[in-house]
Amino acid sequence: MDSSSIITQVTRDDGFLDTFSTSEKGTTAVVTPNGKKTRSRNLFGSILCCFRNTNNNSNNNNYAPINCQLQVPLENGSPRTSDKYLLPPVRQQDINKKCVVIDLDETLVHSSFKPINNADFVVPVEIDGTVHQVYVLKRPHVDEFLQHMGKHFECVLFTASLAKYADPVADLLDKWNVFRCRLFRESCVFHRGNYVKDLSRLGRDLNKVVIIDNSPASYIFHPENAVAVSSWFDEMNDTELLDLIPFFERLEQADSVYNILRTFAESASSTSPS
């Protein structure tokens, strides 16, 4: 297995590292709430993974990520309706909160198999019997962003990367148990060469669901629910996560996410250069 196939990420020129069709690069512009543009991308990797719970010793057990990969009970040979979804029922403390699905790579962190001197984490990943070191940089203000989001929303980590990489990164990144569940590549829908995060499979009211992602391909089924962020690699003056906090403070109070997201998209489109 190619070591790069465990991580789904973009290259610095906004093209996907794609093992399916390396000659094709997506270029669909998507306007972010702060007026920036990002580009669509193709996804890569052929190894499926699962999502699982983590052993976290934090005292905040009410918010510890749980095992979402449950054995599906059957009724008359078919899954029960409540068991067809990726997420378990909403926890008591999250009732009436909106669900925010958050991407990992190039949204919250940037990872590399090449050594990075100022890496925040170094995660060992075993591939075909060989241990590789993955060097991880945290996006500026990610700690403040996650702490704020965890207080006001039901947060779910959803990445197209493999669990063997993303799960230990999330353990180190999420010191506050912000993520109620973690979903990995196996939970994506493979559609036209892309791993798509199908929000309709979450088991949540889509009027109250938002996805934060740097890849338009990831939310192609539900673009109206998306908050697009630019791909981050190593720019330490980046403030995009910090800038999103006031936006989500407003969105938290809305009855439906759609009007807020539509207003921001229209405003950004009118002020952003073509």
Q: Which CATH architecture has domain 3-271?
A: 3-Layer(aba) Sandwich (3.40)
Do 227 and 210 meet the contact criterion of CB atoms below 8 Å apart?
yes
Cβ neighbors of 144 (< 8 A, separation 6 or more) are 241, 242, 245
CA separation for the pair 90, 150 (Å, rounded): 14
Q: Cβ–Cβ contacts within 10 Å for residue 262, how many?
A: 11
| Neighbouring C-alpha atoms within 13 Å toward the C-beta of 186 | 13
SS (H, E, C) 111-140: EECCCCCCCCEEEEEEECCEEEEEEEEECC
Which residue among 2, 14, 94, 105 is the active-site one?
A: 105
The residue with tokens 């543009």 is 37
What's the pTM value of the predicted model, to 2 decimals? 0.77
Which one is catalytic: 103, 167, 174, 213? 103
Q: Which residues contact 64 (CB under 8 A, 6 or more apart)?
A: 53, 54, 56, 58, 177
In the chain, what are the domain boundaries? 3-271
105 is catalytic: yes
For the question of residue 205 being annotated catalytic, the response is no
The pLDDT profile of the chain, 274 residues, written as one tens digit per residue, is 666 578 776 666 544 443 222 223 333 333 344 444 443 332 222 222 322 333 333 334 444 555 464 334 444 444 444 558 999 999 999 999 999 999 999 999 999 999 999 999 999 999 999 999 999 999 999 999 999 999 999 999 999 999 999 999 999 999 999 999 999 999 999 999 999 999 999 999 999 999 999 999 999 999 999 999 999 999 999 999 999 999 999 999 999 999 999 987 787 777 666 5
